[in-house]
Structures are given as C-alpha cells and as structure tokens.
Amino acid sequence: MTWLPTDFVHPLRVELPGGYHLRPISGADADIDYPTVMGSRERLWSIFGEAWGWPAETMSYEANKKDLERHAAEITAHESFNYVLLNDAGTEEFGCVYIDPPEKAGADAEISWWVVDERVGSELERDLDSLVPRWIAGDWPFEQPRFIGRDLSWKEWLALPDAG
C-alpha cells in the first residue's frame, strides 16, 4: 500500500476566514518565507528543532530557497506536502502546514503547523487550528492522521517507535 492513492489530487487552495488561504509552497516563495521563518526562528526552533533540526540559526536565504524547492518537488511527487499560509494577495506569509507520511508507527499521516510569532493566540491561529483537522478529514484520504503538537507533544512523538 502506498501512502496516497495514485489518483489522489491534492488541494491547490484552501480558504480561511478573514482573507487568508493555504496553497502549496514553492521556491518562488523564498522572498517572503525567509524573513517570516527567521522572524519567528527562536519559537519555531523550540517546536521543530529537536525533531527536524529546523530552522537553524545560521540558515541562509539560499539554503531556505533550496529547502522550498525540495518541498515543491515533494509536493509534485506526492511524497509530502507543505502549504504556506498567506494573505489573499499572496504577499505576506503567516505560517505553514506540513502533511507528511508517517515516520512513527500508529498513523497514516503526520500533520503539523505553525503561525508567525505576531499571530500566536490570534483569531488567525484559532481559525487555522480549527480548519486543519476538518480539512484533513474532508479532503485527504487518511484514516489515522496524527496531529503532532496537538494530539501529542513533539517529545511524545519522538519517543514513539519508527514506522514500518
């Protein structure tokens, strides 16, 4: 069994209230992604650092762009998905959603997300927190998705046995 059905078509745009949307990220997003990530780097490291080693304090613009290009290639190949959270004009980034095949046993997908420091505790974060599980349940073919940082902590996730 593969991670996704061969005929699965991933969503290209997902609307959020208040004039925001999610869409697949690309290397062309580096100009807005790099300052967004680095502006929230310390908090993002506290969330993702132990598990992913991201975002490194010394991450360069070029390294970030290559990372986004890798994400775009993974999306095209349906290996994993990184959606960027943008304003309607697509000129300002507010966070990301990651949809990945399971690294740990007991799930068929692992989903995580974040918003920029300035939006922590905001209506936008609450809308994203509400949307992601509904979106995954409604538009994705998963039976046992795991919401890391929500259903269980990153520390608990790291302690799980590896998948397969």
Q: How many residues does the structure list for the chain?
A: 164
- In this structure, are strands 81-87 and 93-100 parallel, antiparallel, or unpaired? antiparallel
Which sign does the torsion angle of CA 121, 45, 99, 150 carry?
A: negative
How far apart are the C-alpha atoms of 18 and 40, rounded to whole Å?
22
> Which pLDDT belongs to residue 164?
80
* Structure token digits, residue 153: 């902590």
Task: Decide if 101 contacts 110 (C-beta within 8 A).
Answer: yes
> Which pLDDT belongs to residue 1?
44
How far apart are the C-alpha atoms of 100 and 82, rounded to whole Å?
8
All residue ranges of the chain with pLDDT < 70 are: 1-2
DSSP state at residue 4:
S
Write down the pTM of the prediction.
Answer: 0.96
Planar angle of CA 95, 101, 105, nearest 5 degrees: 120
The structural architecture, per CATH, of the domain 14-158 is 3-Layer(aba) Sandwich (3.40)
Give the start-to-end residue ranges of the domains of the chain.
14-158
Strand ranges for the chain from DSSP E: 14-16, 20-24, 81-87, 93-100, 109-115, 145-147
* Structure token digits, residue 58: 């010394």
Planar angle of CA 18, 23, 29, nearest 5 degrees: 105
DSSP state at residue 163:
P
> Which pLDDT belongs to residue 125?
98
> Which pLDDT belongs to residue 30?
97
